[in-house]
């Protein structure tokens, strides 16, 4: 950050009323609850120095780079992590995670990224979080829009778009753009438009969808005509190559907050069991989104617990790494102690020999 911006934030923080609040307990699993390990992380991943504008680029591009890379830290969610949990800069903005949520690839790739969006659509998404026919911001992206991006000036939004356009394309698992799945949505009308959507989904999913979701999203997933209840076809969340965001939307709902014209969606996690959430998510992706994507009840149970299989494996791997390192250290210490003992006993032997002579 520029020195000016750091000082401005400091001035703002110091002007806030003081609040006395006890420190929350550290609930991270070992070894992540060890503060000193952050020093090791910094060795591998901290890049110091300040942002230097590129003289060969326009002022808007440089402003966009500063907003995306520095102040907006879009990469904290949208860039994948390397083996030491730093941002993998070789795959900048190629898709990462925010808790369970998948923060999609937003590079200029036409299939896996947002290369197929118009400038106008991108600006509208950043400013409002809702672009009918492309995407709606749920989960952590809804928070980003609500708390932050909606307050940016139009110039800053356009600067971000100019920079995003130029982020090198990175391909992914998508076979076609996330927003392109599902047949053209018919505006809600329950009557016999069978065959308008691609797959069918299970009967259990169909029952649940009709009773819980169709009032807002339409029997054929077309949403409401003004787009305030989103269409589930031509929507990047059901069209993604991963099922997490659809499942999390059902579990947590969408808090669109005070952003102009947007409505929120209630959370269904409290009164559906894991099997029902899985049936619904699979029905939504099969009929309206990417039919290759599915989840199991066991996946949903893990999501509710706040982790994915990958994250559980990561914690276990880190713990076994620490255990291996500890065993190795112990082995080395034992070896060293043995050597010392052998040396002192041979010294003693030698001096006994001398005394005898
Ligand atoms: C706290 C995490 C987080 C941050 C920070 C964040 N995003 Fe996102 N973003 C997400 C998630 C999660 C999604 C997927 C939302 C969904 O499924 O509804 C997303 C979706 C998007 C999409 C839509 C992609 C698509 O194909 O649907 C765009 C564009 C985007 N973000 C741009 C940005 C930009 C630009 C920034 C920085 C100014 C940013 N995001 C910062 C988490 C984040
Ligand atoms: C009361 C109306 C209502 C009901 C009922 C409802 N939704 Fe929603 N849904 C919404 C709104 C509003 C949004 C978010 C609009 C926005 O982001 O601006 C949304 C968003 C979504 C999204 C897209 C989220 C994203 O990040 O792109 C999915 C998927 C979804 N709903 C699925 C469902 C499913 C499945 C059900 C049934 C369990 C359901 N909805 C029931 C109103 C509703």
Residue 305 CB less than 6 A away from ligand 1: no
Rounded to whole angstroms, the Cα distance separating 281 from 275 reads 10
pLDDT of residue 357: 64
Write b or e for each residue in 13-40: b if 16 or more Cβ atoms lie within 10 A of its Cβ, otherwise e.
eeeeeeeeeeeeeeeeeeeeeeeeeeee
CB 86 within 8 A of CB 41: yes
Peptide bond into 31 cis (omega under 30): yes
CA distance 283 to 238: 10
Give the helix/strand (H/E) hosting 254: none
- Backbone phi, then psi, for 47, in 5-degree steps? -110, 115
217 within 8 A of 189, measured Cβ to Cβ:
no
For ligand 2, what atom is nearest to the CA of residue 213?
37
Q: Determine whether the shortest distance from the Cβ of 93 to ligand 1 is under 6 A.
A: no
Cβ–Cβ < 8 Å for 79, 89: yes
Whether 250 is in the pocket of ligand 2, judged by its Cβ within 6 Å, is yes
Pocket test for ligand 1, best of 96, 144, 145 (most atoms within 8 A of CB): 144
User: What is the full DSSP assignment across 164-223?
Assistant: HTTSPP---S-SS-GGG-SSPPPPS--SS-TTSSS----HHHHHHHHHHTHHHH-TTS--
Q: Does 178 contact ligand 1 (Cβ within 6 A)?
A: yes
The Å distance, Cα 213 to ligand 2 centre, comes to 8
Which residues partner with 103 through β-bridges?
A: 96
Predicted pLDDT of residue 228? 82
Along the 357 residues of the chain, how does pLDDT read in single tens digits? 999 999 999 999 999 999 999 999 988 888 888 889 899 999 999 988 889 999 999 999 999 999 999 999 999 999 999 988 899 999 999 999 999 999 999 999 999 999 999 999 999 999 999 999 999 999 999 999 999 999 999 999 999 999 999 999 999 999 999 999 986 444 444 433 444 456 677 889 999 999 999 999 999 899 988 878 999 999 999 999 999 999 999 999 998 877 877 889 999 999 999 999 999 999 999 999 999 999 999 999 999 988 777 777 878 888 898 889 999 999 999 999 999 998 887 777 777 777 766
Judge whether 162 and 58 are in contact, CB under 8 Å: yes
> 274: Cβ–Cβ under 8 A, 6 or more apart, which residues?
297, 298, 300, 301, 304
Residue 249 · residue 138 · CB < 8 Å: yes
Beta bridge partners of 254: 265
Write down how long the chain is. 357
**Residue 4 burial (10 A CB sphere; 0-12, 13-18, 19+):** exposed
């Amino acid at each position: 950050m520029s020195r000016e911006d750091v000082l401005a934030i400091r001035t703002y923080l110091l002007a806030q009323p003081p609040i006395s609040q006890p420190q929350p307990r550290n609930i991270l699993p070992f070894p992540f609850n060890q503060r000193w390990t952050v020093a090791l992380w910094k060795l591998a991943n901290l890049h110091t120095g300040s942002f230097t504008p590129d003289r060969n680029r326009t002022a808007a591009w440089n402003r966009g780079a500063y907003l995306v890379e520095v102040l907006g830290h879009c990469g904290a969610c949208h860039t994948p992590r390397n083996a030491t949990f730093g941002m993998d800069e070789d795959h900048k903005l190629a898709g990462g995670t925010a808790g369970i949520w998948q923060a999609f690839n937003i590079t200029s790739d036409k299939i896996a990224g947002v290369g197929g969006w118009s400038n106008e659509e991108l600006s509208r998404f950043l400013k409002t979080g809702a672009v009918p026919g492309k995407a709606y911001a749920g989960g952590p992206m809804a928070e980003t829009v609500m708390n932050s991006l909606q307050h940016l000036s139009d110039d800053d939004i356009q600067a971000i778009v100019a920079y995003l356009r130029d982020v090198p394309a990175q391909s992914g698992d998508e076979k076609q753009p996330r927003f392109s799945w599902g047949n053209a949505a018919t505006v809600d009308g329950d009557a016999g438009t069978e065959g308008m959507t691609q797959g069918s989904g299970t009967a259990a999913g169909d029952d649940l969808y009709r009773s819980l979701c169709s009032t807002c999203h339409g029997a054929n997933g077309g949403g409401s005509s003004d787009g305030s209840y989103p269409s589930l076809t031509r929507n990047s969340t059901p069209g993604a190559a991963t099922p997490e965001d659809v499942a999390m939307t059902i579990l947590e709902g969408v808090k669109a907050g005070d952003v102009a014209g947007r409505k929120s969606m209630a959370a269904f996690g409290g009164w559906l069991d894991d099997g029902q959430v899985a049936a619904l998510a699979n029905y939504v992706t099969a009929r309206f989104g990417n039919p290759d994507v599915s989840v199991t009840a066991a996946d949903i149970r893990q999501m509710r617990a706040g982790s994915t299989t990958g994250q559980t494996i990561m914690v276990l791997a880190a713990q076994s790494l620490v255990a291996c390192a500890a065993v190795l250290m112990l082995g080395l210490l034992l070896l060293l102690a043995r050597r010392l003992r052998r040396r002192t006993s041979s010294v003693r032997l030698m001096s006994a020999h001398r005394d005898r002579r």
